[in-house]
Structure 1
Amino acid sequence: MNKSEELLLLKGINKKFGPVQILYDVDLSIYKGKVHALMGSNGAGKSTLMKIIAGDYTLDSGTIHLDNQLININSPGEAKSHGISVIHQELNLVKELTVSENIYLGKELTIGFGNFINSKKKALSKTKEIINKYNIQLDPLKKVKDLSIGEQQLVEILKAVSEESKVLIMDEPTAALSAEETKQLFKVITSLKSKGIGIIYISHRLDEIQEICDYVYILRDGRNVSEGLINHFSNERIIEEMVGSQIDNIFPSSDRKKGDELLRVEKIQNNILRSISFSLYEGEIIGIFGLIGAGQSEILNVLFGTKKKADGNIYVKNKLAKISSPIDAKKLGLAYVTENRKEEGLLLELGSEENMVLPSMGKFSSLGIKKQSLIKKVANDYKETLKIKLASISQPVKNLSGGNQQKVILGKWLLTGPEIILLSEPTRGIDVGARVEIYKLLDQLANESRKGIIMASSDADEVIGVSDRIFVVFEGEIIAEIDKSEATRERLMEFASGAKYLKEGV
């Protein structure tokens, strides 16, 4: 790329946490009007590098230049003052406020000269200007709580560009978006590029990287291992560089044989679901596929007792099951790996060993006293079995990568000895290396341990690659059952979008 267009330069960045070196002499160049993919397996150092740029961490050594000027970034405030903004996976919006109020929240005095009414009017006017500038379809007077996830993502982008950002960091921006919302986001990114904004784009979705990015940087074990124009990198090459070896097949290829019926669902429904029926067998993985919001996660929530059903029956091993709460479900041998790791799956301030034993605490305490040595032994065993990368099992799980957090949740539920495992979006925001390990584990649990597994996912490739049978959900109803041998991405999407369903008048 043209050196004169270089916007941000990081040179020789090093970072340690205690005795553990995380980054080793990392270099990164961000150019005006370009999208730069930052790739790497969980634990490669991506998050640490981004937090240094965003001012959450300070570097140990190295330099940062912006517009050819040496700068210091010691806080998020300093990063913003230099025109560096971050759009996190977890959106930071006030749901009861409008779009324009969110965009200028905390900046009222600078736009309204101290008068609150003037501030609101000015915020609305300036929001309209930015919306028009970037050709974004959004109502500035609409409350955030009434927006889709994709629209909320656009509000975060507007917040960033309202501060005259030069560099925009996007962390898994499409993780919770539908296909249509992703298209809209990409149009906005193209508009941002045309205004000269440099974008750092972090995603584990390789097809997205190929579509929207101009350049790619790949980290492995805290070091630069490869970089270049995206059209010089196939998906296979990116994966090889990330994991350090060739992966022949992302999905396991074992020929599983199903056994006796474990679970039967008969015509369950509520305000979202409509007459859901299916069976799950020993040694089987069922995929429930649908676009985001179609109802696939709702099915798992009803099965695990976190949501109520209005009608219908659930049978576990041919016995009518009363599931009114997760406690009921757990007693019946069900486990649930939720899609919302940080809010529902983990206690972020605790270590992995404490998180793992929470649902099974009765096994690890006596007369109210925890059996600490047993807890450590079991947690270490699962750390090895699940290949969890961490400095210590006492390390707070909030400091772990997404893939390692997901493995801690899996360990937590495996400790309960379940026969039926429910997973919602199990690899969302997880790199390909960790995905491969999780897919192998699911195959082993079904094939060798004879568990029954239900996986709800909006990733068509994942559902096809892992499942034995696939149920497609559209507007809260199962409208197709497809055997793995007959499943294609196109066929799943045709049903999931409603095109085939409406055409045939099902």
Structure 2
Amino acid sequence: MAQQPHLLHARSIVKSFGPTNVLKGFDLSIAPGEVHAFLGGNGAGKSTFIKIISGQHERDSGTLEFDGREMGASSASPVDSGMIAVVNQELALLPHLSVAENIAMPRLHRAMRTYSERTSKAVAIEALSLIDPHFARESVGRLVGHLTLHERQLVEIARSLGSGARLLLLDEPTANLTAAETARLFAVLRKLIADTQLAVLFVSHRMREIRQIADVCTIIRDGKTAVDRVPLSDITDREIVEFMGQSVAPDERGDSGAGEGIHLNADSEPSSEETAVHAEAITIRHDDIEVEVGPGSIIGLAGAPTGPAALIEALTGLAMRTAWDIRRNGTTIRYRCPSAAARAGVGYISGDRANKGILATLPIIDNLMAARRIVERRSVARSEELVHGASLLHALKIRAGSLWDLPSTLSGGTQQKILVARWLALKPKLLILEEPTRGVDIRTKREIYTLIRKLAAQGTAVVWWSTEYVELVELCDTVLAFDLSGRPTGVLHHPEVDETNLANATGMAA
């Protein structure tokens, strides 16, 4: 049988940002009717390559062909004509427009084409119904800026699935989806591929999902092709990790050495009064469900996003009204705003890195010191911050040209480590993490696990929300489970914390 011609063919792609060489002669080819897994560690060049294909960046050199035609500045872009659709890791929706407008507007390729609200709503409902029919019916008129990260992910995916594109670029599309939504997305992709010979470039760090959906893989390492179009049936998970340059022992529990040498709370020793306060446990209760969050404990949250999100809002001062009763020593705790919660020792790391985490227009040093400045009620930078910031970068193995560089010069996984670093020296009484390993590679995940375990070992109580059950099983001795409607269903304790029991308690597949 003759080999099917490639729909996209990239050869010797080179891209630099100033002195930083990101792509160093990278090759990749995608055929119609296949799901092509695009694998590599954070900072390897995956997102840069996708942005080159989608027209967000220009390559410095190399050739890029789509359907046999050269893609370049002098020719019409397949993205502009709707032949290529992309779901970026950092979602590219317009918050001031409705869900219907965000989904329908990209289809208006012709100039002066009339916009129809009725048609747009119909298009949006049809596209969203591929993934979540209930959400489709109730969301089309809502502003995107009012949606949760989870809901925005659904909108972004639906916009691409309903675009009629021949090539779909999916950069961590399942990072904010439940297991049921991921399964439905994969079913839709398989149908589109069978019906239209759609080609899919799929980026994920979740090996189980890669095995479920992808046919072949290409691995990028340090901007170069390490593995080119190898069938996934011919390569093991261990080999994939090794080709990525991220070997991790199978029995390793996260002790990667990340954070060695960091002296948490180094500025001063806590007073006996502060130590006593820190040692107090917090009790959270909803009807007959009760969980004690004690010093050094790591409590997991599992289930559909509605339930964990409501609890997190109550714990961080984001919710003015809540069904949760949160107490310390019998006294109700309720913060009027997130900054008040932070000053009371409650740290929060959002899973929405782009909109609620990284301060994109401020340099790395300001991002590192953001939480400290809120707690200390100041906005003026001090000279010692530069010394402390440099020590954090060194201890966390973060490669940055300068503390004054913007976070956009760092990979998504490295940006996530910046968010964790904000709280290290503050040693919060309670640290709440919302999908903290979203879109990060195996090594970075392990480093984040290590950092959180060290904080817990020094007395910080941790609440960890994750849609990856395997992560909760590894990290947590206690997990609070929520059903599909967002109501807590029960508390699981070690050794009953496993993927099967979590699936049963939440009504969601592992």
Q: Structure 1-normalised TM-score? A: 0.83
Cα deviation, residue 212, structure 1: 0.5
Alignment partners' CA distance in 1, 2:331 and 2:252: 37
Aligned to 1:211: 212
Aligned to 1:235: 237
Aligned to 1:503: none
| C-alpha contact (below 8 Å) 2:131/2:154 kept by paired residues | no
Structure 2 counterpart of 1:352, from 364, 369, 372: 364
Alignment partners' CA distance in 2, 1:104 and 1:430: 31
Cα deviation, residue 49, structure 1: 0.9
4+ residue segments displaced more than 6 Å: 120-128, 134-137, 139-142, 362-366
Cα deviation, residue 102, structure 1: 4.5
1:168-247 pair list within 5 angstroms: 168-194=168-194, 195-227=196-228, 228-247=230-249
Percent of residue pairs identical: 28
Aligned to 2:282: 264
Worse-superposed segment, 276-285 or 198-207: 276-285
SS of equivalent to 2:105 = coil
* Amino acid corresponding to residue 284 of structure 1 in structure 2: S
- C-alpha spacing 1:142/1:464, structure 2 compared with 1 (3 Å): closer
SS of equivalent to 1:187 = helix
Aligned to 1:33: 33
- C-alpha spacing 1:248/1:145, structure 2 compared with 1 (3 Å): farther
| C-alpha contact (below 8 Å) 1:38/1:200 kept by paired residues | yes
Aligned to 2:263: none
Aligned to 1:271: none
* Amino acid corresponding to residue 183 of structure 1 in structure 2: A
Structure 1 counterpart of 2:404, from 390, 394, 398: 394
Aligned to 1:284: 297
1:257-406 pair list within 5 angstroms: 262-267=280-285, 274=287, 277-293=290-306, 295-310=307-322, 313-316=325-328, 321-361=333-373, 369-371=380-382, 373-406=383-416
Alignment partners' CA distance in 2, 1:289 and 1:324: 26
| C-alpha contact (below 8 Å) 2:248/2:443 kept by paired residues | no
Alignment partners' CA distance in 1, 2:81 and 2:282: 58
| C-alpha contact (below 8 Å) 1:56/1:74 kept by paired residues | no
| C-alpha contact (below 8 Å) 1:266/1:275 kept by paired residues | no
Worse-superposed segment, 490-499 or 315-324: 315-324
* Amino acid corresponding to residue 16 of structure 2 in structure 1: K
Alignment partners' CA distance in 1, 2:50 and 2:455: 36
SS of equivalent to 2:301 = strand
* Amino acid corresponding to residue 381 of structure 2 in structure 1: K
SS of equivalent to 1:376 = helix
State whether structure 2 residue 449 is matched by structure 1 residue 431: no
Alignment partners' CA distance in 2, 1:468 and 1:76: 55
Alignment partners' CA distance in 2, 1:498 and 1:121: 34
Alignment partners' CA distance in 2, 1:110 and 1:218: 38
| C-alpha contact (below 8 Å) 2:279/2:459 kept by paired residues | no
Alignment partners' CA distance in 2, 1:248 and 1:329: 39
After superposition, give the CA deviation of every residue in 1:28-65 in whole Å (9 maximum; x if it has no partner): 00101111111111111101111111111111111112
> Which structure 1 residue ranges, 5 or more long, are not aligned?
269-273, 500-506
Alignment partners' CA distance in 2, 1:223 and 1:104: 37
Alignment partners' CA distance in 2, 1:316 and 1:52: 52
Aligned to 1:14: 14
- C-alpha spacing 1:422/1:127, structure 2 compared with 1 (3 Å): closer
Alignment partners' CA distance in 1, 2:355 and 2:56: 21
State whether structure 2 residue 166 is matched by structure 1 residue 156: no
* Amino acid corresponding to residue 279 of structure 1 in structure 2: E
1:102-113 pair list within 5 angstroms: 102-105=102-105, 108=108, 110=110
* Amino acid corresponding to residue 281 of structure 2 in structure 1: L
